[in-house]
Amino acid sequence: MFKVNDNYCKLPATYLFTEIARRVNTFQQENPDAKIIRMGIGDVTRPIIPASIDALHNAVDDQADSSTFHGYGPEQGYDFLRSRIAECDYAKRGIHVDINEIFVSDGAKSDTGNIGDILSIDNIVAVTDPVYPVYVDTNVMAGRAGDFDGQHWSNIVYIPCTAENSFIPSLPERRPDIIYLCYPNNPTGTTLTRDQLKVWVDYARANGSLILFDSAYEAYIREENVPHSIYEIEGAREVAIEFRSFSKTAGFTGLRCGYVVVPKELKGVDANGNDVYLNPPLNRRQTTKFNGASYLVQRGAAAIYTSRGQEQIKATIDYYMKNASMLLDGLKSIGIEAFGGVNAPYVWLKTPSGLSSWEFFDKLLRDAKVVGTPGVGFGPSGEGYFRLTAFSSHEATSEAVERITALKI
Amino acid sequence: MFKVNDNYCKLPATYLFTEIARRVNTFQQENPDAKIIRMGIGDVTRPIIPASIDALHNAVDDQADSSTFHGYGPEQGYDFLRSRIAECDYAKRGIHVDINEIFVSDGAKSDTGNIGDILSIDNIVAVTDPVYPVYVDTNVMAGRAGDFDGQHWSNIVYIPCTAENSFIPSLPERRPDIIYLCYPNNPTGTTLTRDQLKVWVDYARANGSLILFDSAYEAYIREENVPHSIYEIEGAREVAIEFRSFSKTAGFTGLRCGYVVVPKELKGVDANGNDVYLNPPLNRRQTTKFNGASYLVQRGAAAIYTSRGQEQIKATIDYYMKNASMLLDGLKSIGIEAFGGVNAPYVWLKTPSGLSSWEFFDKLLRDAKVVGTPGVGFGPSGEGYFRLTAFSSHEATSEAVERITALKI
């Protein structure tokens, strides 16, 4: 009989957002008139900016005529988009990224999962805790995680980030081969300064570790000393892959576009200890297992780099960040400790009165009819925390703040 | 030092289509006035049908307004598309496929590569030879192929399909766990009848093998006794996964959409020999490593199932099949043996005068300025064969036929 990859059987059956949906549906059925405000899943709500809408319509028209029709595109992405990325996301910040180091994809979720294809299953993986569940689950599926004790996977190194250490991860005691870092952070909304990120780049250089740096939320950075790219740190090109997404930058959660940067200098070793550069295998993976992001969507993405596009996405991000600020102010006004929300669209709060994450979830749903995400769903160090997102409308956010501040807690 | 997946290092450096591009570029540089006709890569050239264009424009407009905006969609695809697939591609042919068995993706190349994620690396893989290179290369990357001797991978079972056996694969001597079948076939353009396909379904049932059935070209089938889906064969739901694509059906090579069907009954075993159903792990893979196909593209795909859409895609396919017929007639008129082209957009010819595949490639490029694909690029049994595609315009195809028939061969 053919054999299934039974690493899949190790994964706990319930996925965080499935359990949230289940509880919300039950509550809604029991309280059909309740007007629930959803601030759980990190999905955007504002429409695509006019600059991209125009580009999308034009791209659709291209496909309607054989003289402008675009069939298979380059698997790595069109140069019209890669050149804009290299120029606007990097060169303008003084960073050199060659367009052949950029791989355009259908989104950062695919990229952060697929990058594992080119890495040996023998590597030891480290994650900050709490963490975006995809990093852990994709390593479980690949066979890198070991066994689960209900909280931790035996082969994964967890690096706690809590209020006690101001959400600054300490260097691990056990040396990892691969380190996932996401800044601005999902779920905590916290950031590292350049100096704090440099500690990790230096560690990776000294220890032969690879940093997988997810900067999907960089467009939300407001403070000067917070790096937008890990390549702002000296030496990072030798140790880091960077993931970017148009989902939160430009509302492309439904359109699907992201990219990954793999510098030419970046190398690991094969089973015999010989150097292997990472850019060629990723290129081979993409040309073999992927056929490029949709032409339409790449045109839509390129339009955000026009000056009109830049103004428009800034307005959308300002809109969400006003929500973040309302949330932070509201929570603090009733004495709840809250973090993030300054350089990120997430607010991470300490649950009051010693409630567990799920107890607070149930209380907030029942008493305020507001849905958030229990921190423990992101890892054991998330217990006692809770995530709210800034992606709703002003009206919904304002209403949610009113309801939360009216709670007796 | 972190370790790279060194299965990637085993892959031969040159990819078929890269080598073709290199030779064509060299020829064009040496002969700047030569008007080269490209019939190599299987990319379409006709524009997207008006029914889909209208749907795409409407979907773009949806994204421009917060009341109709679509963010993250279901990772498995929207029901508006899955229900059309279940109804039009299956129920209308008397086949029951539940919508929860359908996973919409960004294309069959991704799907045929990614399916390996949920299968153990210990499985023995069989391919027909010649074969679409992605099946073999993705298994090399995953570590299932063994070592390469310049023609064959040691752990892959090759099933020759040549003029000698009328391109009907014989059952293998060594039992494979996984069998890739692509019908109508790329590259040969040949098909199996229902009875011939039943032999394989019966074999898989008797031997505990999994069939990965790629029917990306089913829309080109003209003959009554050629199955459009493997699920037309009794018992196939217990042993087969089916891959479909909108690329060749509706010209979506640049838009990116396909789907895979995993029936609920289909099961393999884990390392301990316990049954494991395949539908749940694929669902887990897609929800963890993928965020759904673009909303726009799914709307465009759904439009092909309207009666207007069906008429329009039929016209496009008829257009290409007229080219196939011109190619077949032309080749036969000068005594070249040619296959396929009746239920598929590919014509597979036996190279004349005992020329090797690459010798014929060079001759055709030099003397007729026509680019095709050397059969040997698809596997050792492709040596002495050559592929031409029907995806050009009538004008280019007719011109190519004129030039080829004028050759002294």
CB-based contact B144:B125 (threshold 8 Å)? yes
Query: To the nearest whole number, what is the mean pLDDT of chain A?
Result: 97
Q: Comparing C-alpha atoms, which of B342, B343, B354 is closest to residue B385?
A: B354
Residue B194, pLDDT score:
98
Rounded CA-CA distance B228/B231 in Å is 9
Residue A12, pLDDT score:
87
Lowest mean pLDDT of A292-306, B31-45, B87-101, name the range: B31-45
CB-based contact B4:A268 (threshold 8 Å)? yes
- Per the listing, tokens 């064509």 go with B24
Q: Is B202 on the interface with A (CB under 8 A)?
A: no
Q: Is B224 on the interface with A (CB under 8 A)?
A: no
Tokens matching residue B99? 């919508």
For residue A62, pLDDT over 80 is answered with yes
Tokens matching residue A256? 């699907």
Residue B409, pLDDT score:
74
Beta-sheet pairing, B178-182 with B210-214: parallel
- Per the listing, tokens 């402008």 go with A68
CB-based contact A58:B57 (threshold 8 Å)? no
Helix (H, G, I), strand (E, B) or coil at A388: strand
Q: How far is A20 from chain B (nearest CA, A)?
A: 15
Q: Do B273 and A1 touch (CB under 8 A)?
A: yes
Residue A16, pLDDT score:
81
For residue B14, pLDDT over 80 is answered with no
Rounded CA-CA distance B342/B325 in Å is 7
Q: Do B254 and A122 touch (CB under 8 A)?
A: no
Q: Which of B53, B63, B294 sits opposite A53 (nearest CB)?
A: B63
Residue A249, pLDDT score:
96
Q: Which of B60, B119, B256 sits opposite A294 (nearest CB)?
A: B256
Q: In this structure, which amino acid lies at residue B135? A: Y
- Where residue B384 falls (left for φ over 0; alpha for ψ -120 to 50; beta otherwise) is left
Q: How far is A354 from chain B (nearest CA, A)?
A: 32
Report the complex ipTM.
0.97
Residue A40, pLDDT score:
87
Residues of B in contact with A64 (CB under 8 A): 47-48, 50, 53
Lowest mean pLDDT of A10-24, A133-147, A292-306, name the range: A10-24
Rounded CA-CA distance A386/B85 in Å is 40
- Per the listing, tokens 């799920």 go with A358
Distances (CA, A) of B24 to A8, B66, B386: 45, 49, 16
**Cα A381 vs. chain centroid, distance in angstroms?**
18
Rounded CA-CA distance B159/B206 in Å is 19
CB-based contact B256:A293 (threshold 8 Å)? yes
Q: Do B288 and A138 touch (CB under 8 A)?
A: yes
Is the Cα torsion angle A138, A142, A148, A154 positive or negative in sign?
A: negative
Tokens matching residue B328? 């077949």
The burial of B30, by beta-carbon neighbours within 10 Å (0-12 exposed, 13-18 middle, 19 or more buried), is given as exposed
Q: How far is B337 from chain A (nearest CA, A)?
A: 30
Q: Is A178 on the interface with B (CB under 8 A)?
A: yes
C-alpha dihedral over B391, B396, B400, B403, to 10 degrees?
180
**pLDDT band (50, 70, 90) for residue B13:** confident
Predicted structure pTM score: 0.97
Q: Do A134 and B71 touch (CB under 8 A)?
A: no
For residue A405, pLDDT over 80 is answered with yes
Residue A42, pLDDT score:
84
The radius of gyration of chain A's CA atoms, rounded to the nearest angstrom, is 21
CB-based contact B382:B376 (threshold 8 Å)? yes
B229-276, pLDDT tens digit by residue?
Answer: 999 999 999 999 999 999 999 999 999 999 999 999 999 999 999 999
Residue B73, pLDDT score:
95
Rounded CA-CA distance A289/A274 in Å is 26
Rounded CA-CA distance A178/A156 in Å is 10
Q: Is B73 on the interface with A (CB under 8 A)?
A: yes
Is the Cα torsion angle A135, A139, A141, A142 positive or negative in sign?
A: positive
A54: nearest CA partner in chain B: B60
- Per the listing, tokens 């990772």 go with B75
Q: Is A304 on the interface with B (CB under 8 A)?
A: no
Those residues whose C-beta lies under 8 Å from the C-beta of residue B117, and which sit 6 or more positions away, are: A5, A141, B285, B289
Helix (H, G, I), strand (E, B) or coil at B143: coil
Q: How far is B353 from chain A (nearest CA, A)?
A: 34
Within A143-294, residue ranges assigned H as helices are 194-207, 247-250, 279-289
Residue B371, pLDDT score:
97
Rounded CA-CA distance B334/B354 in Å is 15
Rounded CA-CA distance B38/B369 in Å is 9
B93-120, pLDDT tens digit by residue?
Answer: 999 999 999 999 999 999 999 999 999 9
Helices (runs of H) and strands (runs of E) counted in chain B = 13, 15
Q: How far is A330 from chain B (nearest CA, A)?
A: 26
For residue A228, pLDDT over 90 is answered with yes
Give the phi and the psi of residue B312 in degrees, each rounded to 5. -70, -40
Those residues whose C-beta lies under 8 Å from the C-beta of residue A171, and which sit 6 or more positions away, are: A199, A200, A203
Residue A409, pLDDT score:
74
- Per the listing, tokens 């089913």 go with B218
Residues 343-382 of A with CB under 8 A from B: none
For residue A18, pLDDT over 90 is answered with no
Residue B324, pLDDT score:
98
Rounded CA-CA distance B301/B56 in Å is 9
Looking at chain A, the whole-number percentage of residues with pLDDT higher than 90 is 96
A107: nearest CA partner in chain B: B291
Q: How far is B344 from chain A (nearest CA, A)?
A: 19
For residue A267, pLDDT over 80 is answered with yes
B175-216, pLDDT tens digit by residue?
Answer: 999 999 999 999 999 999 999 999 999 999 999 999 999 999
Within a 10 A sphere around the Cβ of A364, how many other Cβ atoms? 25
DSSP B92-140: GGT----GGGEEEES-HHHHHHHGGGGB-TT--EEEEES--HHHHHHHH
Is the Cα torsion angle A89, A95, A96, A101 positive or negative in sign?
A: negative
Within a 10 A sphere around the Cβ of A33, how many other Cβ atoms? 5
**pLDDT band (50, 70, 90) for residue A301:** very high
Region A34-49: what's the mean pLDDT? 94
Q: Do B4 and A57 touch (CB under 8 A)?
A: no
The radius of gyration of chain B's CA atoms, rounded to the nearest angstrom, is 21
Residue A15, pLDDT score:
73
B28-41, pLDDT tens digit by residue?
Answer: 999 999 999 999 88
Region A116-133: what's the mean pLDDT? 97
Q: Is B295 on the interface with A (CB under 8 A)?
A: yes
Distances (CA, A) of A201 to A167, A236, A239, A371, B38: 18, 6, 7, 37, 48
Q: How far is B288 from chain A (nearest CA, A)?
A: 6
Query: To the nearest whole number, what is the mean pLDDT of chain B?
Result: 97
Query: Buried (b) or exposed (e) across A115-132, using 16+ Cβ within 10 A?
Result: bbbbbbeebbbbbbbbbb
Q: Do B4 and A276 touch (CB under 8 A)?
A: yes
Beta bridge partners of B167: none
Rounded CA-CA distance A117/A107 in Å is 16
Q: Do A178 and B110 touch (CB under 8 A)?
A: no
**pLDDT band (50, 70, 90) for residue B15:** confident
Q: Which of A1, A63, A269 sits opposite B268 (nearest CB)?
A: A1
Rounded CA-CA distance B251/B345 in Å is 13
For residue B368, pLDDT over 90 is answered with yes
Rounded CA-CA distance B7/B328 in Å is 40
Rounded CA-CA distance A24/A371 in Å is 8
Beta bridge partners of B157: B126
Residue B143, pLDDT score:
97
For residue A365, pLDDT over 80 is answered with yes
Lowest mean pLDDT of A203-217, A322-336, B30-44, name the range: B30-44
Q: Is B53 on the interface with A (CB under 8 A)?
A: yes
- What secondary structure letter does DSSP report for B87? I
Q: Which of B45, B50, B118 sits opposite A71 (nearest CB)?
A: B45
DSSP A10-41: HS-S--HHHHHHHHHHHHHHH-TT---EE--S
